[in-house]
Amino acid sequence: MKQAEIVVVGAGPAGLSAAAAAAQAGAQVLVIDENAEPGGQLFKQIHKFFGASEHRAGQRGVDIGHELLEEVEGLGVDVVLDASVWGIYDGSTVAVASQEYSWRVKADRIVLATGATENGLSFRGWTLPGVMGAGCAQTMMNVHRVLPGQRVVMVGSGNVGLIVAYQLLQAGAEVVAVVDALPRVGGYPVHAAKIARAGVPIYTSYSVKEADGDECVEKVTIWRVDDRWQGVPGSEIELDADTVTLAVGLSPMAELAWVAGCRFLHIPELGGHVPVHSAYMETTVPGIYVAGDVSGVEEASCAMEEGRLAGLWAASAAGRLSVAAAVAAAAPHEASLARLRSGPFGAAARGGKLAMDGRRDEAWGQTLTRGGA
């Protein structure tokens, strides 16, 4: 069986950062990703990042992605693409399926950086072709350079909804409307202003009633919702659209942590069920670490800082770095994370991570119904 000191699952911003930090500390690192290209969701993020310059504000995700890749390559990290990890046994054997064969690798330490998956929203017609995740539209237009539709209704006015709506305009689509059930716009005002200036109407306190069409979306009906989230009959507005994009949140993709027997807590602020982890990013299964969206949905900037921490602590646990050296190396990343979570949009994640700390005992008290010991 193949051996690796540290196996990182996922080559997104979190996984690549973890790999870089661990390799810098001298560890032998193997990164596995099921995509044909590394970078995770970074290469579709063509907007400029927010925050301070230390968080690469003003830079676009796609450029940050190229820099990270160069760093990882320069450190001699082994990156295997087109390979899906489908299991973890005994906390240390990683099972992988490549196109033509499957293989296993024995790891001293494992970092899970598998990201998140987009949430759906049910309304009549939500399974019709033309209804898709906002990230799906983002992938198709910014990575594959194909428009997912011509006339788009965006559901959700958080940052992802606003940013992707603007990117749809940049790519040449028409955004018919942005709709949000909440009474006010969820994302940064500057993003909302950009699409409002382009003439896109933003309907707050509105939701989708139904999407109609024979074999694909041809018409979308929205209606006002009251303060108990019930649609108000008579308030319907019909929109001529061929596409509905959903930006209604993400959920951590934590199946691998689950099969490895990690304890979970349900923390809405972090996107749902998350593997319980310490400030060292270690889960309740010793030797298995998490970083990025899988440990709680945030932004790419946070994912990169968490990745650095997970990589450092995994390398330290593998004996590559003294605890004192790891503490010193981790400090700037911890400080940076604290700053990222200090603004109004970071408050939820900060609260979520605190709640997780406070409820660790509860997680240990649960009976595991599946997974390991």
Ligand X SMILES: Cc1cc2nc3c(=O)[nH]c(=O)nc-3n(C[C@H](O)[C@H](O)[C@H](O)COP(=O)(O)OP(=O)(O)OC[C@H]3O[C@@H](n4cnc5c(N)ncnc54)[C@H](O)[C@@H]3O)c2cc1C
Q: How far is the CB of 175 from ligand X (least distance, A)?
A: 15
Nearer to other proteins, 93 or 139 (CB): 139
* Residue 340: closest CA among 52, 69, 70, 12: 52
* Residue 254: closest CA among 229, 226, 222, 283: 283
Nearer to other proteins, 146 or 324 (CB): 146
From the list other proteins, ligand X, none, partner contacted by residue 78 (C-beta under 5 to 8 A by kind): none
Q: With contact defined as beta carbons under 8 Å apart, do 29 and 19 qualify?
A: yes
Please, which of residues 26-55 interact with ligand X by CB under 6 A?
A: 32-35, 40-42, 44-45
Residue 292 sits in the site that holds other proteins (CB under 8 A): no
The CA-CA-CA angle for residues 273, 275, 291, to 5°, reads 115
Contact characters 23-42, other proteins, x per CB under 8 A: -----------xxx----x-
Q: Which two tokens stand for residue 67?
A: 């820099």
Q: With contact defined as beta carbons under 8 Å apart, do 311 and 281 qualify?
A: no
User: For residue 225, what are the contacts with CB-CB under 8 A and spacing of at least 6?
Assistant: 181, 205, 206, 207, 231, 232
Query: Which among 12-20, 228-236, 333-341, 358-366 is the span making contact with ligand X, rule CB under 6 A?
Result: 12-20
* Residue 275: closest CA among 46, 88, 45: 88
| Among residues 7, 14, 25, 267, the one that binds ligand X under rule CB under 6 A | 14
DSSP 104: E
Nearer to ligand X, 27 or 303 (CB): 303
What gap in Å lies between CA 294 and CA 287, rounded to an integer?
16
Query: Which among 10-18, 64-72, 260-268, 271-279 is the span making contact with ligand X, rule CB under 6 A?
Result: 10-18
Q: Which long-range contacts (CB under 8 A, 24 or more apart) does 280-284 make?
A: 280/309, 280/313, 281/111, 281/306, 281/309, 281/310, 281/313, 282/313, 282/317, 283/112, 283/257, 284/363, 284/364
Please, which of residues 244-263 interact with ligand X by CB under 6 A?
A: 250, 253, 256
Nearer to ligand X, 99 or 367 (CB): 99
Query: Which among 110-118, 209-217, 258-266, 308-316 is the span making contact with ligand X, rule CB under 6 A?
Result: 110-118
Please, which of residues 252-311 interact with ligand X by CB under 6 A?
A: 253, 256, 292-293, 299-300, 303
From the list other proteins, ligand X, none, partner contacted by residue 172 (C-beta under 5 to 8 A by kind): other proteins
Please, which of residues 97-156 interact with other proteins by CB under 8 A?
A: 117-118, 120, 127-133, 135-137, 139-142, 144-148
Q: How far is the CB of 36 from other proteins (least distance, A)?
A: 6
Nearer to ligand X, 225 or 247 (CB): 247
Q: How far is the CB of 259 from ligand X (least distance, A)?
A: 10
Q: How far is the CB of 363 from other proteins (least distance, A)?
A: 26
Q: With contact defined as beta carbons under 8 Å apart, do 303 and 311 qualify?
A: no
User: What does DSSP say about strands 83-89 and 93-98: parallel, antiparallel, or unpaired?
Assistant: antiparallel
| Among residues 4, 6, 7, 13, the one that binds ligand X under rule CB under 6 A | 13
Q: Which two tokens stand for residue 101?
A: 């064969």
What gap in Å lies between CA 255 and CA 84, rounded to an integer?
13
The DSSP annotation for 40-77 comes to TTGGG--SBP-S-GGGTTTSBHHHHHHHHHHHHHHTT-
* Residue 220: closest CA among 176, 163, 156: 176
Q: How far is the CB of 172 from ligand X (least distance, A)?
A: 18
Binding site for other proteins (CB under 8 A): 34-36, 41, 46, 60, 62, 117-118, 120, 127-133, 135-137, 139-142, 144-148, 170-172, 215-216, 253
Binding site for ligand X (CB under 6 A): 9-15, 32-35, 40-42, 44-45, 84-85, 113-116, 118, 135, 138-139, 160, 163, 250, 253, 256, 292-293, 299-300, 303
